[in-house]
Every structure is written in C-alpha cells, then in structure tokens.
Structure 1
Amino acid sequence: MTEPHDDLDAYALELDQAHIFHSWSAQAPAHAAAVSIKSGLGTRVWDYAGNEYLDFSSQHVNVNLGHQHPALLEAIRVQSQLLATISPPTANITRGEAAKRLAAIAPEGFNRVFFTNGGSDANENAMRMARLYTGRDKILSAYRSYHGNTGSSIVATGDPRRIPNEFARGHVHFFGPYLYRSEFWATTPEQESERALQHLRRVIEAEGAQTIAAVLLEPVPGTPGIMLPPPGYLAGVRELCDEQGILLIFDEVMCGFGRTGEWFAFDAFDARPDLVTFAKGVNSGYVPIGGVIIDDPIAAHFNDRVFPGGLTYSGHPLAAATVVASLDTIASEGVLEHVRDISENHLGPALHALAERHPSIGEVRGRGVFWALELVTDRATREPVPAATMGRIRAGLVERGLLPFVSENRIHVLPPCIVTPAEIAEAMEIYDAVLTLELG
C-alpha cells in the first residue's frame, strides 16, 4: 500500500533515491531519476504532479504499440484469470499460439521458438545454440553494437560498457559500416559496404574460420546510432558466413516488430539469418519476454541431444498472451503500413527539415520510427557536440514535455509505432526550440 503523502511526485523521487539501485549509473543522489511516471496512454505519459510528456523514446525502444493499449491489457486480464503462471515443460495453448505466430512472420523454415525473459538472455541462448551446433567457440560481433547485459551478451556488445564486464571467453569484435564516420576511408555507401565486408573477411581469416561459431549482428544497430546497412552489406555477411560454415544471428530485439516498418528489420534487406533474437516490441514490454526463433536444421540438431539451457519463466503465459495480442494487433490495425507512411511522409521529412534549420545536425538517418540526429559543433569537421551540452539538451527536452533518447552526441527519435502526424509536429517544435537555445 502507498503511504499517504501530500506531494506524490516528490515522494516517488524520494523512494527512488532511497531504495532503487539503477542500471548503468552511479548511485549518488545527483545521478538519481529526474522524472517520475504515474500513468500513460498511447504516446504520452504523466508524472505524479500531472505534467504531461510525449514519449519519443518509447521507454527503452520497446513500447511499439504505445502505453496502455486496450488489446494487450485485455489479454493480460483474460490470461490472469485463466492461468497466471505455469512451468516451461508444460504444454500451454497461449504459449504455443505465441510461438506459432512468431514462426508465421519469420522466414520459411523457422518453426521453433525458445522463449526467454528478455533480449539479453535471448542473445545469450542464441550464441549457446550456435556454439553447440557448430562445435566452435568464437562469436564475432561489431564494435558499434549493444546485445544485452548478461554474461556473454555484454561481452558480445561492442560499446565501452563491455570493458568492465569482460568475463566471458571467445568474443571477437570488428567494425561494421558507418559511412558518416567511416573506418575505411569510404566516400560512398557502396565503398563502405565493400570495404567493411573485406575487413570482416580479414578478421575471419585472421581468427581462423574453423574456430568461429557465429556472427551476431543487429540488422539496423540501434543504441550505437540507428545505422542503416549500406547496399549489399547484410547479403555480403551472409555470403561470408556460408563460405565458412559460420552461423548468422540477427539481433532484432530493438529493431523488430514494426520499428522499421517491417515485421523484422532484415525483411527489407536480402539476407536470411540462421537464428533471430527478439524481445521489446514483440509485446511492447508489457510483461517481460524475449526469445530465439530457430532455423529448422538447428532445431533438429537438438532432437536427440539435450539443449543445456532453460529459464523458470520461459514462455510465461501472461507474457505469451501479450505476444499473441500484440502480433494480432499489428496485423489487424495496419501498424506496419502506418509506420511506413509516417516515415516517408511525416517523420523523415520533418527531421530533414529540422536539419536544414540547424547546422548542428550533422546527419539525419533512419527509417520507420527509428531515427537519429547526429549533433556536431561543425559540419565540416564533424566534431561531436560535447557531453555537457548533450546533458543540457536532454534536460531541455524533458522540461518542455518530451521524453528523449539521448546517446553520446545523438538524439534518437523513437516514438511508438502508433504516433500521429500531429504528435510528430508537436515534437519537432520541441526539438527546434531546444536546439535553438543550446546550439543556436
């Protein structure tokens, strides 16, 4: 029970500072949460003081169908009254229907799903499957990547958060394509693709192809900056893997389920993975769930071999019910089509127009409702805007009623898939005002 309190907003922040140990953060009061959230609806949330915010972060890029979607809430209500929980070895129709729907939207030949609690352990178990299936040890992944915070997933992650957590073995990193800050002196997308693929080929050769179980990639890297793969890159990675008997794992945790206007981000590119990991947008995060969609030959490998992995809440019925409701809603409400229209006719043009007004925006990139503004002090040198300025930008956006996703020198623009043109226009006014104040 909540104790009576005159100022619930202050009380929420007080509780947070006193008792919550935050992820990726120092724990002193100066680093504590600055916003409390009491309720939400659609693309908006409210704090305990009644202040309203546009959620253009989709929380952790997971609330694809927005806050409090009635179909997902009803699914939770119905399932909770029927069966709140059941152990993984038990057959359950809700769990089975969730897996069936996931198999239906995956490429042909994917018929089995291993459910996990979220994206980190989805990647953890996909890597485990790859190692057991191939008999090899190493996993290759990009430096500009984020794959989670469990033992192997954080080491597979390329960004610096892995460095204090490098306790897992067998991980090797390479540079993926990123034309705006090319590691390969490329000047065109085609050059970037060709040279990034040659770099990956050399890493495979130098590490010994016979030691590599899988390449783990986000088809569109999210946390590192919403970097669309240049033409031919994903298909080229697939070809390299096929040449050497290496599996290809696509991490769709952040970029899947409508975020790019497709069921899976890789659907827009000519590449078929061997394993697909998912979480977040599969059910908008209403109940924690993730998993691995498994190509038939890999699934068959374990027909008479024990898969040495499992989780108490694998395929939790409340979570599975929200997966069924979410995938059905995305299909019945035309969410993918809506996202494509929003991207092509509203969000994309609005962000490019914003860049025309602000020289501090060095590049606009993205698709669907998955965009990034890269902020620079000088377009010629591409010097990143410093961290202190980005902190003020973030605070300014919140003060004006927008919850942002700010990473390094970037503003990631990540509204729910159900965002409207009017809400995009409202957000653009806020971005415009803050950028004008902080960067001129």
Structure 2
Amino acid sequence: MTEEDLDARAKRLDRAHVFHSWSAQAGLDLPVVAGGSGAVVWDHAGTRMLDFSSQLVNVNIGHQHPAVVDAIREQASALATIGPATANLRRGEAAARIVAKAPAGFSKVFFTNGGADANENAIRMARLHTGRETVLSTYRSYHGNTGAAIMATGDWRRMPNQFAHGHAHFFGPYLYRSEFWATTPEQESERALQHLRRVVQSEGPQTIAAILLETIPGTAGILLPPPGYLAGVRALADEYGIVLILDEVMAGFGRSGRWFAFEGYDVVPDLITFAKGVNSGYVPVGGVIISDEIAATFDERVFPGGLTYSGHPLAAASIIASIDAMDGEGIVENARRIGAEAIGPALHDLAARHPLIGEVRGEGVFWAMEFVADPATRAPLPAAGIAALKKEIVARGVVPFVADNRIHVVPPCVVTGDQVAEAVAAYDAAITAVEAS
C-alpha cells in the first residue's frame, strides 16, 4: 500500500467509525497525522506541517522526544500497569519531581487521567475541606468536560451540560474588551476585583468553597492577568476563608516560559491542577498538587475519590523523563527566550502592519492574535473570515490553533527561531490574502 493509500485509508476509517468531540460529524474533513518530531508533524505521504497548535496546547516538549519515548518503552517492559492501591517507585518519583517544582508547602500529588478530572477532584477537595458548596469561576474559561469541571467552565460548552450544582460565574479581567469600562490595566484589575468582591458577598461568603481560575485563561483567549489581580484574588480568598484553585492544565510546565504560570504573578494557590505539559500528553495523565493544609484534612478522613488509572506507571515514567529532559535541556528557558525575542516581536510587527489584528498578547510560547473586522469598533472578525484565515494558514504548511476570532500561536516549548520565522511568514501571507479578498 502506498503512502497516499495509507492517508486515504486513515481518512476513510476515521469517517466511518470515529465520533469526534465538539463537532457536527457529517462535514468533517480532518488532516491525517502519521508522525512527528519536535515542532513538526507529517502525514503518511511525508507532507510536513509546522505544529503551532501543539495539538491541544499540550505537546510542550515536542513530538517524539526520544528520552520520553524510551522511558515509556522501558516501563512497559518492566510493568505495564498496576492499581492505585499500591506503592510504586515510578509513581512516587513522578510525584516527587512535580512537588519539587511547586512552591513550599506542597508535598502531595493526587494523580488523575487528565485536566478535567484534575479540576473535578480539586473542587471535591475544596468542598470537603471547607464544608461549603459553591464554586466561583469566570465566564471566559474552560476547565474540562466532566460534571463539575464543565459547570465551572464559562463558555458555551457549559450550556448543554448543566447537570452539576453549586456553581456561579463572574467576569475576569480582559482590558481589550473590558466589562468594567476600564482604560488602563490598573483600572481593569481594581474594578475586576471589586466585581468579584461583590459576587462573593452576594452569593454569601459562608457558602463559597473555592474560587477556580485558570492562571492565564487559555482557550478563552490567552488573557494575561493585569498587575495585582491574582494577588488581589488571593487576598479576597484569605479574607473569606475560600480555597483558591489555580488551573495550570494549559499554562503549566513551560508554556508561559515558567514551570508554573503563577510564578510570574505574585500568588500562591491552595490547590494546583495540571495535565497537558507535565508529559506532553504522551500518556494520558493529570493531577492536583495539594497544599499541606488541605492534605492534612484527609489524614484521618477518607478522601472519597479515585480512578483506576491514577498514577499509571507508564504515565509516571513519562512525567519523570519529561521533567528531567526539560531541566537538562533548558526547555522552559527556551520557551521564555523564544517568546520574548522571537514570537512576541514578530506578532507585534504583524499587528502594526495588518488592521485585521486588533490585539496581540501572550508570553513564553502562549500567544494570541485577536482579529477584528473594524479596529475602531473592535467588532470581532466573523466566522467566515476566521475560516478563510485558517484555510490560508494550513495551505502554507502550518497547523494553527483557532478559537472564536483568534489565532493562538502555541508551538512546543522546543520551537526554534527559524521555525517561528517560517510560521510568522505563513501568518503574514495568509492575512494578506484574506485582506485582499
């Protein structure tokens, strides 16, 4: 069978038998991915694409990192699986690697299968620790597609799935489209914090178990928190005895140019959720890093949660290898440098030359270009315009991450300056083509 035949067979089998998430099924025409290396993927025919989506913003270490692949292979040979009610060396080593990157006062990790159930279990811990029920989260957020996690999510995906209880939402800061008539980052921070205070007071502080925030909202637009905002949320949570959960599922493990995004914002949460970049999704895994105070709640009290694959040895081996490789190869530092020296300047240059780009924002390898139909009114570019942009970018050999009226520029942390230049040239040409149409 030729490579072209393999691509055709992959598409045929996919259309015949695979039911895809977040999609109407009939019109799907998905790209075939057969292999990858670093920031590049290809199909069976060898057609190369720069992966500037990191798939779902999770392949932080890049595709097929040899140390991680070898660690999974070696662990599979030694012990492919074991239940969670055991002590396993790889699981313990993985947890130790993770807490070594966390702030002081965090000693325990509860492993899950991904980010959604990490948030699900963090919410459970907060409710049991406080004896309260309500969870506050922002409208512009995504926390996963399980019961409590999808209810904590603020975007449209919550609405067909509202079967959990005890959730309320508020507006987080977003200066470009301020809900608070703010004109400076400082104003946006102050007014967003006052809004949150009023929501806490109106919902009843004695009922609120947790405030759940993405440190940097990702799918919602890569919304960097303005100065003082996260520290202000921390102070508000302390004032009312509320647990602060920071969702680092997308922002963590190098994506922001730091091990955890919150390290840049003068805040330490009570619970940290993670997944994605901890092992770049080579094996499904996530978890909750638990402060010592909350962990102590369950010293003599049963924690009523668990998963068959919690701390799976293949996942644990991949975490160890990923963190060690990221340490040894300076991968987090590369993400920070490439964002400051290559991605940021290049995207700001595009914005200066293309009126379709309303705003550029980001850090590390975590950036967004927000597209507008009119720079004066900031009216979002309609869906047809974004679809045209995506088509033009793909035609130029780049896999984009598209969300609403934005293109998110989210390559692996191992991306090179030359690859950034290649992708930016593709964005430039694609925007020019759409502007001319």
Tell whether the 8 Å contact from 2:114 to 2:285 is kept in structure 1 after alignment: yes
Asked if 1:415 is matched to 2:411, the reply is yes
Q: Give me the identity figure in percent.
A: 67
With 122-131 and 352-361 compared, the bigger mean Cα shift is at: 352-361
Tell whether the 8 Å contact from 1:16 to 1:33 is kept in structure 2 after alignment: no
Tell whether the 8 Å contact from 2:3 to 2:45 is kept in structure 1 after alignment: no
* 1:259-270 alignment runs, 5 A limit: 259-270=255-266
* Other-structure match for 1:24: 22
Q: Which amino acid aligns with 2:23?
A: S
Give the CA deviation at 1:393: 1.2
Tell whether the 8 Å contact from 1:5 to 1:11 is kept in structure 2 after alignment: no
Q: Which amino acid aligns with 1:24?
A: W
User: What CA deviation, in whole Å up to 9, does each residue of 1:267-309 have, x standing for no partner?
Assistant: 1011110000000000000000000000001101101100000
User: What CA deviation, in whole Å up to 9, does each residue of 1:100-130 have, x standing for no partner?
Assistant: 0111110101000000000000000000000
**SS in structure 2 at match of 1:406:** strand
* Other-structure match for 2:155: 159
User: What CA deviation, in whole Å up to 9, does each residue of 1:294-340 have, x standing for no partner?
Assistant: 00011011011000000000000000001001111111111122112
Q: Which amino acid aligns with 2:46?
A: G
Tell whether the 8 Å contact from 1:101 to 1:324 is kept in structure 2 after alignment: yes
* Other-structure match for 1:113: 109
**SS in structure 2 at match of 1:345:** helix
TM-score w.r.t. structure 2 length?
0.99
Give the CA deviation at 1:439: 2.0
* Other-structure match for 2:100: 104
Asked if 1:325 is matched to 2:321, the reply is yes
Give the CA deviation at 1:6: 6.4
Give the CA deviation at 1:392: 1.5
Q: Which amino acid aligns with 2:284?
A: P
* Other-structure match for 1:403: 399
Q: Which amino acid aligns with 1:139?
A: V
* Other-structure match for 1:10: 8
Tell whether the 8 Å contact from 2:358 to 2:375 is kept in structure 1 after alignment: yes
Cα distance in 1 for partners of 2:308, 2:236 equals 37
Asked if 1:252 is matched to 2:234, the reply is no
Asked if 1:288 is matched to 2:281, the reply is no
Query: Over aligned residues, Cα RMSD in angstroms?
Result: 1.0
Give the CA deviation at 1:4: 8.6
Q: Which amino acid aligns with 1:308?
A: P
Cα distance in 2 for partners of 1:51, 1:75 equals 29
**SS in structure 2 at match of 1:122:** helix
* Other-structure match for 1:241: 237
**SS in structure 1 at match of 2:267:** coil
Asked if 1:369 is matched to 2:365, the reply is yes
* Other-structure match for 2:81: 85
Cα distance in 2 for partners of 1:415, 1:19 equals 30
**SS in structure 1 at match of 2:341:** helix
Cα distance in 2 for partners of 1:120, 1:219 equals 16
Given the alignment, which residue of 194, 197, 219 partners 2:193?
A: 197
Asked if 1:425 is matched to 2:421, the reply is yes
Asked if 1:356 is matched to 2:352, the reply is yes
Cα distance in 2 for partners of 1:177, 1:329 equals 35
**SS in structure 2 at match of 1:113:** strand
Cα distance in 2 for partners of 1:439, 1:14 equals 35
Distance of aligned partners of 1:303 and 1:27 in 2 relative to their CA distance in 1, 3 Å threshold: same
**SS in structure 2 at match of 1:7:** helix
Given the alignment, which residue of 23, 31, 35 partners 1:39?
A: 35
Q: Which amino acid aligns with 2:274?
A: F
Cα distance in 1 for partners of 2:139, 2:295 equals 29
Cα distance in 2 for partners of 1:4, 1:434 equals 32
Give the CA deviation at 1:33: 3.6
Given the alignment, which residue of 129, 135, 139 partners 1:133?
A: 129
* Other-structure match for 2:378: 382
* Other-structure match for 1:170: 166
* Other-structure match for 2:293: 297
Cα distance in 2 for partners of 1:307, 1:130 equals 11
Q: Which amino acid aligns with 1:432?
A: D
* Other-structure match for 1:70: 66
Q: Which amino acid aligns with 2:362?
A: G
Structure 2: gaps of 5 or more residues: none
Give the CA deviation at 1:34: 2.3
Cα distance in 2 for partners of 1:138, 1:439 equals 47
Cα distance in 2 for partners of 1:129, 1:173 equals 20
With 270-279 and 335-344 compared, the bigger mean Cα shift is at: 335-344
The runs of at least 4 consecutive aligned structure 1 residues that moved more than 4 Å come to 3-6
Give the CA deviation at 1:258: 0.4
